[in-house]
Amino acid sequence: MTTEERIHQLREEINQHNYAYYHQDQPTVSDFEFDLLLKDLQRLEAEHPEFYDANSPSQRVGGMVTKNFATVPHEYRMYSLDNSYSIEDMEEWEKRIEKLLGEQVQFVCELKYDGASISILYENGELTQAVTRGDGVQGDEITNNIRTIKTIPLKLEGDYPAKFYMRGEITIPIQTFQQINAERKENGQELYANPRNFASGSLKLQDNTEVAKRGLQCFPYYFIGNQLPYTTQWEMLQSAHKLGFKVPDSSKLCNSLEEVLAFIAEWDVKRKDLPYETDGIVIKVNDFRQQEELGYTSKSPRWAIAYKFKAEAAETELLSIDYQVGRTGAITPVANLAAVSLAGTVVRRASVHNEDFIRKMDIRLGDMVYVEKGGEIIPKIVGVNLDVRQPDAQEIQFMQHCPACGSALVRKEGEAQHYCPNEKGCSPQIIGRLEHFVSRKAMDIESIGSETALLLHEAGLVNDVTDFYALKKEAILPLDRMAEKSAQNIIDSVEESKKQPFEKVLYAIGIRHVGETVSKKLVKHFQTIDRIMAATMEELISVDDIGEKIALSIKDYFRQEEHQAFIQRLRDYGLNFEMGEADKPTSTHLEGKTFLFTGSLTKFTRAEAQKMVEQNGGKNVSSISKNLNYLIAGEKAGSKLKKAEEIGTVVVLTEDEFLTMLTN
Ligand code: AMP
Ligand code: ZN
């Protein structure tokens, strides 16, 4: 077998395993075997860039960064749907269309998947472009991100139209949503409000390796193109399945409005057990000839309507507002409610986000408020029943002083959140920082959990995280529930933690807005704490995923002498403040130079090329500007090449010339 044949065979085999796993829920190999196959393929593809294929299953794991998503017009506009909320609305709609058509109508009922809509172009059976809905007329091109979603076929099976757009909804499993929100909460990051925001947020991530990890799914609901071979919606859904899409089997062909209403009633109950969110049912005229005849209003098709389920809401009294202090000093207001039953659980608290939210909603103490529960962990207040507001209902005076330490709260311009500035003396902040520092994703000091951290703090042994490294066994032993062995464990695991790599240390020290990902990116870019501390705003912002807010927070942090001394103490204890040798670049050949790749590359993949640049000390950028030094143009290079030539200072290289540059 030639290498090319082997590559094709591996791709085919991996595709089949993927299909069995994601479509049929019947894995045909173990994860381990699967990884071996994939590694094999990745290795061969790396050795033989001439067989590059953007739709190889190896592309599903990511490795691409898109800094700016291009705006792309939709060839066919992406419409909204008209909404209906009652049986009467539905009856009216049916009458209206039967009158317009003058004949009987069959309907297809589908769930209304709650996520972000997508339009994916397939040409000759290959996925070639994916664009978000945007404003319906144009959207953002997010092809690289979409390729990582496992239930979206990169190549179609069977009998496919030569060119068409698949319209579908990208959703997130509720469980994944809750899990990721819980992690974000732990990291002091802002939570996603609902699975819909999560889905659209995920689609716009710059690094598609992150997208690949988010468990997104795609549910197709429409094909559009020139002279497609389908005559009905139902036939099209069936064939979507045959082409390799994951089509939910909840959809139903209905012969009458009665059947439609029965479907709605059935799913109003059953939807609560689905692993993803739905907010209604979409009812479509089945026959494409009839669809065409009915046409569109300026906003939505006349041949379809959404029936919206009533969100699960309850009305209850707002008793008071509590203010919680996080480890970074961020203040979160939480409403205390008179207990009320909602979607099967008793609710006593609801999120009210920040002061602006309270003002905007005009929530007052003693008000009867509506609380709703979507996929969120904590329910939210969605409105106030003004009819029953008491004339003396008091406006909420947002807390001016920290509930824990009494310091005056501050609110920075442009930020919605209040902060307690008393970093050193505010106990929830102190304890929060200790807990964060020892946590698994940070220094991973296993023998010190939250409880032990608190115990050590209350005993006066640990006030800031540097104190962990000064702990003596004799001092720990007399504490409650401590024995020789547990005390020794603490000493040992604190010692062991000195081996944690720099990126974990940087995350552990808990700079506001520096989560796991940002910390990794900083380390990769700057390599040492000294360089990070010396970085200008501009240099910080030039790093992927780092915007002004994060950059400001980093500058702010290191500007303070206290923090500089704090870092020095940790350094003296032997923690890692430099990138490990293994991760460091192999040469400084390309130092200070910037690179961008365009067109279709034949000698290596884009990811490989970018890695080569990094390993030789160069930097990848994502768009053409005066700051770009080299543009490597593959075949069919288009607008970027033109733009580079216009700028004049950009050196354009062929792939071979780039490779030569690396070795000379
Ligand atoms: P809306 O955003 O409320 O106007 O509803 C229209 C959106 O519903 C479309 O843009 C789709 O993204 C989404 N949608 C979800 N499920 C379906 C479905 N089965 N058929 C059509 N649209 C759907
Ligand atoms: Zn405080």
Domain with CATH 1.10.287.610 in the chain: 3-52
- Dihedral angle at the C-alpha atoms of 167, 168, 170, 172, nearest 10 degrees? 180
Sheet (strand 304-308) strand order: 83-84, 304-308, 278-285, 107-113, 252-254
Residue nearest to atom 17 of ligand 1 (CA): 112
Q: What pLDDT sits at residue 23?
A: 82
Q: Over the stretch 256-287, which tens digit does the pLDDT of each residue have?
A: 999 999 999 999 889 888 988 898 999 999 99
520 catalytic per annotation: no
Q: Exposed, middle or buried: residue 467 (CB in 10 Å: 0-12, 13-18, 19+)?
A: middle
- Of 52, 43, 207, 42, the C-alpha closest to 601 is 52
Pocket test for ligand 1, best of 169, 217, 247, 307 (most atoms within 8 A of CB): 169
CATH node for 313-389: 2.40.50.140
Q: With cut-offs at 50, 70 and 90, classify the pLDDT of residue 511.
A: very high
Residue type, 45: E
Question: Are residues 577 and 567 in contact, defined by beta-carbon separation less than 8 angstroms?
Answer: yes
Q: With cut-offs at 50, 70 and 90, classify the pLDDT of residue 309.
A: confident
Pocket test for ligand 1, best of 112, 114, 285 (most atoms within 8 A of CB): 112
Pocket of ligand 1 contains residue 112 by CB under 6 Å: yes
Q: How much is the mean pLDDT over the chain?
A: 90
Of all residues in the chain, the percent with pLDDT exceeding 70 is 99
Residue nearest to atom 3 of ligand 1 (CA): 81
Domain with CATH 1.10.150.20 in the chain: 427-499, 502-583
**Which one of the listed residues 39, 67, 95, 112 is annotated catalytic?**
112
The ligand that comes nearest to the alpha carbon of residue 324 is: 2
Report the pLDDT averaged over residues 375-388. Answer: 81
Q: Over the stretch 73-97, which tens digit does the pLDDT of each residue have?
A: 999 999 999 989 888 999 999 999 9
Pocket test for ligand 1, best of 117, 132, 264 (most atoms within 8 A of CB): 117
Domain with CATH 3.30.470.30 in the chain: 83-306
Q: Over the stretch 137-191, which tens digit does the pLDDT of each residue have?
A: 999 999 999 999 999 999 999 999 999 999 999 999 888 888 888 887 777 677 7
Residue nearest to atom 7 of ligand 1 (CA): 80
Q: What pLDDT sits at residue 167?
A: 97
Domain with CATH 2.40.50.140 in the chain: 313-389
Is the CATH number of domain 83-306 3.30.470.30? yes
The ligand that comes nearest to the alpha carbon of residue 135 is: 1
Q: What pLDDT sits at residue 377?
A: 62
Q: Over the stretch 526-584, which tens digit does the pLDDT of each residue have?
A: 999 999 999 999 999 988 778 888 999 999 999 999 999 999 999 999 999 999 876 77
- Of 42, 34, 48, the C-alpha closest to 150 is 34
CA–centroid distance, residue 404 to ligand 2 (Å): 5
> What's the CATH architecture for 502-583?
Orthogonal Bundle (1.10)
Pocket test for ligand 1, best of 76, 113, 119, 196 (most atoms within 8 A of CB): 113
Residue nearest to atom 12 of ligand 1 (CA): 117
Pocket of ligand 1 contains residue 169 by CB under 6 Å: yes
Phi, psi of 397 (to 5 degrees): -90, 110
Domain 3-52 - what CATH class?
Answer: mainly alpha
Confidence check: pLDDT of 448 > 60: yes
Q: What pLDDT sits at residue 244?
A: 94
CATH node for 594-663: 3.40.50.10190
Q: What pLDDT sits at residue 606?
A: 79
Q: Over the stretch 225-252, which tens digit does the pLDDT of each residue have?
A: 998 999 999 999 999 999 999 999 999 9
**Under 8 Å CB-to-CB from 514, ≥6 apart: which residues?**
506, 507, 522, 550, 553, 554
Pocket of ligand 1 contains residue 221 by CB under 6 Å: yes
Pocket of ligand 1 contains residue 610 by CB under 6 Å: no
Confidence check: pLDDT of 323 > 90: yes
Sign of CA dihedral 633, 583, 209, 23: positive
Pocket of ligand 1 contains residue 613 by CB under 6 Å: no
Q: With cut-offs at 50, 70 and 90, classify the pLDDT of residue 344.
A: low
Alpha helices in 115-250 (DSSP H): 143-146, 174-186, 195-203, 208-212, 233-243
Residue 84 and residue 95: Cα distance in Å, rounded?
14
Pocket of ligand 1 contains residue 306 by CB under 6 Å: yes
Pocket of ligand 1 contains residue 172 by CB under 6 Å: no
Task: Concatenate the DSSP letters of all residues of 228-242 into one string.
Answer: -S-SBHHHHHHHHHH
Strand pairing class (107-113; 278-285): antiparallel
Q: With cut-offs at 50, 70 and 90, classify the pLDDT of residue 598.
A: confident
Question: Are residues 331 and 409 in contact, defined by beta-carbon separation less than 8 angstroms?
Answer: yes
Pocket of ligand 1 contains residue 282 by CB under 6 Å: yes
Q: What pLDDT sits at residue 63?
A: 81
Q: What pLDDT sits at residue 75?
A: 93
Residue 656 and residue 632: Cα distance in Å, rounded?
9
Q: Over the stretch 37-66, which tens digit does the pLDDT of each residue have?
A: 999 999 999 999 899 998 999 999 888 888
Residue 299 and residue 417: Cα distance in Å, rounded?
37
Report the pLDDT averaged over residues 403-428. Answer: 92
Q: What pLDDT sits at residue 374?
A: 60
| Topology of domain 427-499, CATH | DNA polymerase; domain 1 (1.10.150)
CA–centroid distance, residue 296 to ligand 2 (Å): 57
Residue 307 and residue 109: Cα distance in Å, rounded?
10
Confidence check: pLDDT of 648 > 70: yes
CA–centroid distance, residue 411 to ligand 2 (Å): 13
* Tokens at 548, concatenated: 């002004």
Pocket of ligand 1 contains residue 117 by CB under 6 Å: yes
CA–centroid distance, residue 241 to ligand 2 (Å): 57
Residue 421 and residue 87: Cα distance in Å, rounded?
55
CA–centroid distance, residue 109 to ligand 1 (Å): 12
Report the pLDDT averaged over residues 369-389. Answer: 82
